[in-house]
Structure 1
Amino acid sequence: VEPGASGNVAAGTITILAQPVAGITSVNNVATTSGGLDEEDDASLLARYLQRVRSPSAGGNKADYVNWAMEVPGVGGVFVVPVRDGPGTVSIAIINTNKEPADQALVDAVQNYIAPPWVNEKEAETMTLGGYGTSIDTTQTDDTGDSVKMVYDASGAGTITHAGLQSILQQPGIWQARVRVKVDSNAGTADLLQVGIWNVSAAAWAKTRPSGTVDAVVTLKASDLATTFGNKIVEFYWNGQDQLELRITRLTTDTTTTVWVDRVVYRSTFSKDTGEGKAPIGARVTVEPATAVLINVSATLTIAPGYNADSVKAAVRDNIAAYIKSLAFTSDNDVRYVRIGQAILDTPGVQDYSNLTVNGGTTNVVIGDQEVAVLGTVNLT
């Protein structure tokens, strides 16, 4: 009824029917809702228009990549870094029209439009089942093909493995394993499922980045999942030589939840170089969300007589948020301490302020080229 970002809510928060429906006794959203964006303001539209007319196409130049990304609905800003990952590579960071890091759906849409990635699918029921409590389930109506059912077994953990994973990966680089999974109830808060990429050659978990230190493995609780199939993503780096294995383990910590695994999609975070999208042949394009830098603000306000303190505090927060949004992907995107103070003073009802801190300090916050400032906590007293 009311479109916009306010519709992006957590699981379990949509519980009321606006109008009664015969036969319906309750309603609930089992997963978070996403994709809601506020209407673009005039200033943002003007900025996109000027970007387009001032940056003409030149056969795959930097401006082309910006324009192509901005052609995808929902994109509110783009920053391109040529040859970031070596010769022939193009890195594209994007934000949505709310000036926040793009979600995975928007990243995928831009990637597919400019330069599609490598995509490989593997059905869970064709992988190797082991341990306890795992079986092929042919009764689920919302899976592709069949799925693997994993139930608690006191004898030990259940496993799904995909050995020789490297044999279906077309090129070295950073990949994503998108595991399509659901549970019968997302009420559990104990560790339930471990999903990771094992480097057989190194006898250790693969890493998420070249020369990285973060293991390519996640541990999920039932509360992290939904009762309808959805993707959980694990990123991993492949050097083109090591043997890899996907390992999915149903842990015994959670003694009640049933898990179904439908399939795994292995998707490269970089594009093919075959020129199937807008990008020229030979270009290896990576699209990713801008990195969020949280900006936490704290201050003591002196409220002018006749003003409601709560209303003034809400207005201060809105002014700070508007300032931070105005910086997104601009040539000078650092968050300046004095400008935060100015946003506070410019708010009707604020007579003065003291004890202002931005991210715990009194200095500017430096924002990188492919980063975007996002308002975090605002503590006003």
Structure 2
Amino acid sequence: MADIPQYLQEQTEEEIMSRMLERVPSDIDISEGSFIWDAQAPVAFMLSEAALWAQELLRRGFASTAASDNPDFRSADLDLRSAEHGITRRDAVASSGNVTFTGTPQTIVPVGTHVATPADDVSGEASIEYETTQSVVLDEGGKGTVAVRAVNTGRKGNVPAGVIHIMSTSVNGVASVTNLEATKSGTDMETDQSLLERFYAKVRSQGTSGNKAQYIQWANEIAGVGGVEVVPLWKGPGTVALYVLDMDKRAASKDIVDAVQKYIDPSQDGQGEGLAPAGPVVTVKPAEEVKINIAVKVQRTKEKPSTLEEIKKLIEDGVGAYLKQIAFFRKDPLVRYTRIAAVLLDIPIIVDYSGLAINGSTEQQNIEIRSGQVAVLGTVSVSE
């Protein structure tokens, strides 16, 4: 809390005891151990405790102070405060992606087949398990690709390409499995700070009558949604498009898109079966990803030896954070060459760079991100 009310200030046990003893007649012994002192000491203690309880009650009564900065803590008091405005904490979401099976042609891999990443005995990291969401028949080349979803929810299910290669469920005719692309859109239960932001958005920017703000509020109530762009008159009068991001500011998974569609306009016939008002037909789509590929030559510092892989990782982290910051930011829909150059210069182990190419061009040109698109980091190539 910013300021404790005056009536709760100076309410320590010692301060309360001092004020109580001041009101005792001067001809009565109030030294420590006297009858009066011993009688008032427990009262002073209990009054100081009551003041602390009152302070805690005030703290829990306001959303800003009930929310915790600890991403691993979930405040029940913030849940209660938000619920008064119809806002509930979003649940965790399971990661999803695709895996490719290799084996004997015409082999059927049934729905519910379990695959996994290997456990790491050194770090103690447990295996992450996934299951297929539909069946697949291996083609004449002995390959078949199918969608999978993590068995357990949470961000830990988001893994890089090529790490899922364990067959937890044995299938005759299948020799191997791998994920050619990273799995994505897995999220943990909503943090207090995220819930607080949605609370403020609801009470400070009222969405009414199906305006843009209300569509954004509705979509953000679905677990896993990390950004929404509303496009009115998408295909003429009476149509609205919602482009959705996941919490990593990437194109939302099919599960998230389907959940938003079902919540807002399940029938898509203008009958108002969901939250959308009768009349508009709402179409929910994942954002279109625009990959930003970077190639650059760098000069490394001599004082702190470093590898090109370390520099590559720092560039990926810096540019990735910048792209997340500008996702769906329509006031400035440009990926700016100078901002990416600034990321390079902010890396201490890079003395200088040259030949910075973005999407194959060394021209210092910005890249425009159109409506419904989101810039995401593609490949990063670093050389000397």
**Normalization by structure 1: what TM-score?**
0.52
Moved more, 308-317 or 8-17: 8-17
1:377 shift after superposition: 0.6
C-alpha change, 1:73 and 1:26, in structure 2 (3 Å) is closer
Q: CA deviation at 1:272?
A: 2.2
Partners of 1:352 and 1:49 in 2: CA distance: 45
Q: 1:108 to 1:283 in 2, by over 3 A?
A: same
* Structure label with greater radius of gyration: 2
Give the Cα–Cα distance (whole angstroms) in 2 for the partners of residues 354 and 42 of structure 1: 43
Whole-angstrom CA distance in 2 between matches of 1:378 and 1:42: 34
Partner of 2:116: 14
Give, in angstroms, the shift of residue 46 of structure 1.
6.7
Structure 1: distance between partners of 2:333 and 2:189: 23
Q: Is the 8 A contact 2:185 2:246 kept in 1?
A: no
Partner letter of residue 265 of structure 2?
A
| Residue in 2 that maps onto 1:36 | 186
- Offset, 1:298: 0.7
* 2:239 alignment partner, one of 89, 99, 124: 89
SS at match of 1:87: coil
User: Offset at 1:96?
Assistant: 0.6
1:321 maps to which residue? 320
1:341 corresponding residue in structure 2: 341
- Post-superposition Cα deviations, 1:137-168, rounded to whole Å, max 9, x if no partner, equal xxxxxxxxxxxxxxxxxxxxxxxxxxxxxxxx
Contact 1:16–1:27 (CA under 8 A) maintained in structure 2: no
Whether the 8 Å CA contact 1:11–1:30 is kept in 2: the answer is: yes
Opposite residue 318 of structure 1, the aligned amino acid is: D
Alpha-carbon separation, structure 1, partners of 2:313 and 2:234: 41
Asked whether the 8 Å contact 2:244–2:252 carries over to 1, the reply is yes
- Aligned residue number for residue 273 of structure 2: 276
1:286-336 CA deviation, whole Å, 9 max, x = no partner?
A: 110111111111101111121312222211211011111111011213100
Letter in 2 for 1:89: T
Give the C-alpha shift of residue 108 in structure 1: 0.5
Deviation at 1:51, TM superposition (A): 3.9
CA distance in 2, matches of 1:62, 1:75: 16
| Cα 1:41/1:81, change in 2 over 3 Å | same
3-state SS of 1:280 partner: coil
Q: Which residue of 1 aligns with 2:311?
A: 312
Contact 1:274/1:281 (8 A) holds in 2 = yes
**Shift in alpha-carbon separation, 1:279–1:31, aligned structure 2, 3 A:** farther
Distance 1:367 1:30, change over 3 A: same
Shift of 1:9: 7.2
1:110 and 2:109 are equivalent in the alignment: no
Deviation string for 1:253-284 (max 9, x for gaps)? Answer: xxxxxxxxxxxxxxxxxx12111111001121
Tell me, in whole angstroms, the C-alpha distance in 2 between the residues paired with 1:292 and 1:110: 19
Other-structure match for 1:237: none
Task: From 302, 305, 312, give the equivalent of 2:299.
Answer: 302
* Separation of aligned partners in 1, 2:120 and 2:288: 37
**Aligned-partner Cα distance in 2 for 1:375–1:27:** 32
Shift of 1:15: 5.5
Q: Distance in 2 between matches of 1:376 and 1:42?
A: 31
Distance 2:341 2:188 in 1: 27
List gaps (5 residues or longer) in structure 1.
Answer: 118-270
Alignment CA distance shift 1:340-1:45 (3 Å): farther
Confirm or deny: 8 A CA contact 1:74 1:106 kept in the other structure: yes
Measured against aligned partners, the alpha-carbon deviations of 1:321-357 in whole angstroms (never above 9, x if no partner) come to 1111111011213100010000111122111111001
Q: Which one-letter code corresponds to 2:368 in the other structure?
A: V
Q: Number of residue pairs matched? A: 223
What does residue range 128-207 of structure 1 map to in structure 2 within 5 Å? none
Residue 158 of structure 1 is matched in structure 2 by: none
1:254 maps to which residue?
Answer: none
CA deviation string 1:147-193 (max 9, x = no partner): xxxxxxxxxxxxxxxxxxxxxxxxxxxxxxxxxxxxxxxxxxxxxxx
Amino acid at match of 1:368: R
Higher relative contact order, structure no. (Cα contacts within 8 Å, ≥ 6 residues apart): 1
TM-score normalised by structure 2 residue count: 0.52
Task: Give the structure with the higher percent helix.
Answer: 2
CA RMSD of aligned residues (A): 3.3
Cα separation, 2, equivalents of 1:18 and 1:380: 29
Q: Deviations over 1:20-48 (max 9, x none)?
A: 99xxx963696856542378789866765
Write the letter of the residue equivalent to 1:74. Answer: G
Cα-to-partner distance string for 1:196-217 (whole Å, 9 max, x where unaligned): xxxxxxxxxxxxxxxxxxxxxx
Please tell me whether residue 368 in structure 1 is matched to residue 365 in structure 2.
no
CA-CA distance at 1:90 after TM superposition: 0.9
Query: Which position in structure 1 is the counterpart of 2:250?
Result: 100
Does the 8 Å contact 1:8/1:36 carry over to 2?
no
Equivalent in the alignment of 1:62: 212
Unaligned runs of 5+ in 2: 1-91, 102-114, 128-165, 170-175
Q: Is the 8 A contact 2:185 2:247 kept in 1?
A: no
Does the CA contact (< 8 Å) of 1:9 and 1:34 recur in 2? no
Cα distance in structure 2, aligned partners of 1:52 and 1:300: 47
